[in-house]
């Protein structure tokens, strides 16, 4: 219903709270978000909601279970028939394109692509880092349809002096100030030319969900989800590293050297996050399961930023021994990879099952995350608990 309303350009059912930018904290915990199922709301201003791990078992994340990460007030006009995208800056041929122009002028492609919030796992840092306390569910691998960002930039004729993109969306700053952007990030031009970056207008074969950027968004897989601008209205090219909101200071930045937990890091030392690290997620069974047999089937997904996952190992004895899981190749580059394993537990009792992924560069998940002031990039190995009765 929400998608249909968006396509018709009518007021959305989200308007009762999106216009003011917030809902009550109490209501946020039980709000049945239209078109979403089973998500846990972490914040109501702006709205952020994650998906429990066991609800991410599908190879293609359903629209209903894709996480939500907003930075400002959701736009109320998401009519795809009147939506336009401006391409300007350091280009030879500035363009203003409708969604129909994108469909007609450029090759349409469909890919399964992982989008993960840079702060996914922030709740696992000690001492705590400020921000949404994501546990594991700020990630999804839906099927996105659109046109290649690279094709559009080539058509605009990017100049030799261009080195960085800048992205803008239609969402409004939480202050309500017109013209003030809540977030505007970008990527190096070299990354922007990756053929798997999309200007997307479909999600799993249908319209984008309003909370996932309808009617037009960027999908920049392998890098923090904040690079994948939602409600996309403008892409411009610059001859400097973009300095829009959430690009400077400590936003989406980590120190380039190890720091002690709780240690202060000078702002000038922080570096922009590029590719996300190798990671795995056990999606079956649900943690806390009680079984009456020693045989346990474990499954999940693994992904690794700009590279592939080479192997996944599982352990049921706190890492004393490991066994290799079966690992499927990605459906396409930047899609997550399915893993599965059959584990025999030796006796009745309590067990923790751990998963550890290793990428194609030989880098494995650590046992504990490298602490940083903003709580980014927690890729510590995942664990679930099981009790054999």
pLDDT at 274: 98
Same-domain status, 242 and 296 = no
pLDDT at 21: 37
Number of separate domains in the chain: 2
Is pLDDT at 11 greater than 60 in this prediction? Answer: no
List beta partners, residue 352: 385
Average pLDDT for the chain: 93
74: buried, middle or exposed (CB in 10 Å: 19+, 13-18, 0-12)? buried
Same-domain status, 237 and 286 = no
Assess contact for 67 and 49: CB atoms under 8 A.
yes
Give whole-number Cα distances, 161 to 70, 83, 89, 189, 362, in Å.
32, 29, 11, 10, 36
Is 322 inside a domain boundary?
yes
Q: What is the CATH number of the domain that holds 355?
A: 2.60.40.650
Same-domain status, 226 and 289 = no
Q: What is the CATH number of the domain that holds 45?
A: 3.90.420.10
Same-domain status, 181 and 329 = no
**Number of neighbours of residue 117 by Cβ within 10 angstroms:** 25
| Boundary residue ending a domain (203, 227, 248) | 248
Is 266 inside a domain boundary?
no
Is 260 inside a domain boundary?
no
Give whole-number Cα distances, 168 to 173, 212, 232, 233, in Å.
12, 15, 6, 6
Is pLDDT at 176 greater than 80 in this prediction? Answer: yes
Same-domain status, 235 and 375 = no
Whose tokens are 């001859």? That residue is 239
Same-domain status, 237 and 349 = no
Provide, for the chain, the percentages of residues in helix, strand and coil under a 3-state DSSP scheme, each rounded to the nearest 5: 15, 35, 55
| Boundary residue ending a domain (225, 248, 271) | 248
Q: Which residues contact 155 (CB under 8 A, 6 or more apart)?
A: 93, 95, 105, 106
Is pLDDT at 19 greater than 90 in this prediction? Answer: no
pLDDT tens track for 191-215:
999 999 999 999 999 999 999 999 9
Q: Which domain holds residue 102?
A: 1-248
Is 148 inside a domain boundary?
yes
| Boundary residue ending a domain (195, 230, 248) | 248
Assess contact for 279 and 303: CB atoms under 8 A.
yes
Give whole-number Cα distances, 123 to 69, 217, 255, in Å.
16, 28, 19
Is 255 inside a domain boundary?
no
Rg (CA), the chain: 21
Give whole-number Cα distances, 206 to 37, 165, 229, 298, in Å.
17, 28, 19, 31
Is pLDDT at 15 greater than 60 in this prediction? Answer: no
pLDDT at 292: 96
How does DSSP classify residue 258? -
Distance CA(31)–CA(65), nearest Å, equals 15
Is pLDDT at 293 greater than 80 in this prediction? Answer: yes
Q: What is the pTM of this model?
A: 0.92
Same-domain status, 178 and 316 = no
pLDDT at 311: 98
Same-domain status, 320 and 238 = no
pLDDT at 202: 98
Model confidence at 27, pLDDT cuts 50, 70, 90, reads very low
Same-domain status, 55 and 119 = yes
Is pLDDT at 263 greater than 70 in this prediction? Answer: yes
Q: What is the DSSP string of 128-182?
A: --SS----S-SEEEEEEEEEEHHHHHHHHTB-TT--EEEEEESPBPTT--TT--S
pLDDT at 253: 98
pLDDT tens track for 59-104:
999 999 999 999 999 999 999 999 999 999 999 999 999 999 999 9
Is 338 inside a domain boundary?
yes
Model confidence at 33, pLDDT cuts 50, 70, 90, reads confident
């Amino acid at each position: 219903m929400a998608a249909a309303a968006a396509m018709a350009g009518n007021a959305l059912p989200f308007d009762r709270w999106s216009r003011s930018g917030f809902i009550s904290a109490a209501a946020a915990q039980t709000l049945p978000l239209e078109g979403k199922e089973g998500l846990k709301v972490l914040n109501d201003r702006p709205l952020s909601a994650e998906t429990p791990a066991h609800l991410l078992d599908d190879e293609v994340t359903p629209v209903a279970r894709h996480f939500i990460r907003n930075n400002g007030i959701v736009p109320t006009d998401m009519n795809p028939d009147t939506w336009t995208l401006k391409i300007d800056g350091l280009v030879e041929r500035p363009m203003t394109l409708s969604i129909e122009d994108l469909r007609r002028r450029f090759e349409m492609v469909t890919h399964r692509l992982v989008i993960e919030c840079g702060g996914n796992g922030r709740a696992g840092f000690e001492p705590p880092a400020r921000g949404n306390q994501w546990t594991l569910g700020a990630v999804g691998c839906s099927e996105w349809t659109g046109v290649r960002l690279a094709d559009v930039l080539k058509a605009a004729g990017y100049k030799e002096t261009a080195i960085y993109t800048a992205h803008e969306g239609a969402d409004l700053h939480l202050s309500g100030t017109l013209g003030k952007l809540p977030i505007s990030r970008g990527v190096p031009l070299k990354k922007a030319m990756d053929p798997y970056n999309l200007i997307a207008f479909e999600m799993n074969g249908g319209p984008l969900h309003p909370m996932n950027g309808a009617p037009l968004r960027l999908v920049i897989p392998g890098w923090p989800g904040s690079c994948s601008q939602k409600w996309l209205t403008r892409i411009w090219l610059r001859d400097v590293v973009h300095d829009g909101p959430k690009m400077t200071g400590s936003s989406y930045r980590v120190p380039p050297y190890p720091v002690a937990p709780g240690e202060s890091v000078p702002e000038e030392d922080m570096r922009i996050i590029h590719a996300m690290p190798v990671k795995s997620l056990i999606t079956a069974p649900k943690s806390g399961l009680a079984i009456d047999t020693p045989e346990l089937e474990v499954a999940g997904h693994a992904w690794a930023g700009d590279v592939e996952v080479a192997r996944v190992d599982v352990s049921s004895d706190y890492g004393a021994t490991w066994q290799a899981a079966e690992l499927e190749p990605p459906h396409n580059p930047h899609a997550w990879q399915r893993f599965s394993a059959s584990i025999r537990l030796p006796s009745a009792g309590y067990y923790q099952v751990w998963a550890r992924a290793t990428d194609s560069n030989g880098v494995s998940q650590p046992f504990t995350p490298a602490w940083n002031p903003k709580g980014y990039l927690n890729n510590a190995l995942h664990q679930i608990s099981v009790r054999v009765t």
